[in-house]
């Protein structure tokens, strides 16, 4: 599941071709250095590398599936509250 929708479900277009999603890639950077690259295939939370060692952190999300929400929190427990 991604964005609460099934991933790689055999949905047909009007032309009869099945949709196949390659997925979403999440990249996390600290001070311009790639620290984590992860292919996302479900809605499971995952831990990021410690960000307090870097002055600037940012993330990039790319892929062929529309992404509606991204949630980042200081702890896994806080993600549960945000959901």
What is the reported pLDDT for 1?
42
What is the reported pLDDT for 66?
83
DSSP string, 1-38: -BTTB-SS---B-TTSPBP----EEEEEEETTEEEEEE
pTM to 2 decimal places? 0.69
What is the reported pLDDT for 29?
95
What is the reported pLDDT for 46?
92
What is the reported pLDDT for 64?
84
What is the reported pLDDT for 83?
60
What is the reported pLDDT for 15?
58
Residues in the chain with pLDDT values less than 50: 1-2, 10
- Secondary structure (3-state) at 79: helix
């Amino acid at each position: 599941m991604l964005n609460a929708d099934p991933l790689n479900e055999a949905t047909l277009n009007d032309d009869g071709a099945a949709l196949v999603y390659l997925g979403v890639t999440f990249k996390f950077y600290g001070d311009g250095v790639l620290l984590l690259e992860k292919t996302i295939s479900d809605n499971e939370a995952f831990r990021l590398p410690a960000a307090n060692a870097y002055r600037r952190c940012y993330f990039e999300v790319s892929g062929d599936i529309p992404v509606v929400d991204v949630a980042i929190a200081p702890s896994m427990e806080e993600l549960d509250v945000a959901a």
